[in-house]
């Protein structure tokens, strides 16, 4: 009888440990997915990701832009890469490009994300009308 009772106890203990480990493994996987969803939820702008398109400014150029969730990014145009930080203020998207000796340059655009398209607009200095500067597609 002693052998049989200890055998049942060992089996119960092993079953309990297996159940605990399995529960822990599923919980750990759930946390990873929740973290990914959290960063996606933090991007209320819809900008995070890689975008490609063309820019027409004294010629037509291919442009690739990457917006990171930590408000950093990079762009390439005519094989020249630049890094930037970015932020939004309402419907305005602001790029801050570092320059020499602690200086920086900023560019501002009115932006709109619609589906997989990113529209960048500027106001024409002479007419005051909003003009499309660039149309990018999410990659």
pLDDT above 70: percentage of residues in the chain: 70
State residue 59's pLDDT score.
79
State the pTM of this model. Answer: 0.66
At 49 the three-state DSSP class reads strand
Could you report the per-residue pLDDT of 36-71, keeping only the tens digit for each?
444 444 577 899 999 999 887 777 889 999 999 999
**Residue 84 and residue 37 share a domain:** no
**Residue 105 and residue 76 share a domain:** yes
Q: How many domains does the chain have?
A: 2
> Domain of 57: which CATH number?
2.40.128
Task: Supply the range of the domain harboring residue 14.
Answer: 1-42
Nearest to 84 by CA among 69, 63, 105, 110: 105
**Residue 93 and residue 37 share a domain:** no
**Residue 73 and residue 6 share a domain:** no
C-alpha 3/C-alpha 125 separation (Å) is 92
**Residue 69 and residue 3 share a domain:** no
């Amino acid at each position: 009888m002693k052998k049989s009772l200890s055998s049942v106890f060992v089996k119960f203990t092993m079953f309990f440990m297996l159940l605990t480990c399995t529960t822990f493994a599923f919980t750990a996987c759930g946390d990873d997915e929740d973290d990914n969803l959290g960063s996606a939820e933090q991007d209320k702008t819809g900008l995070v990701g890689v975008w490609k398109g063309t820019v027409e400014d004294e010629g037509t150029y291919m442009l690739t832009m990457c917006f990171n969730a930590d408000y950093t990014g990079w762009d390439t145009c005519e094989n020249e890469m630049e890094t930037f930080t970015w932020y939004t203020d309402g419907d305005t998207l602001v790029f801050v490009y570092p320059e020499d000796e602690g200086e920086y340059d900023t560019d501002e655009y009115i932006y709109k994300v619609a589906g997989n398209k990113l529209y960048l607009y500027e106001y024409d200095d002479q007419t005051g009308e909003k003009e499309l500067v660039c149309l990018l597609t999410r990659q």
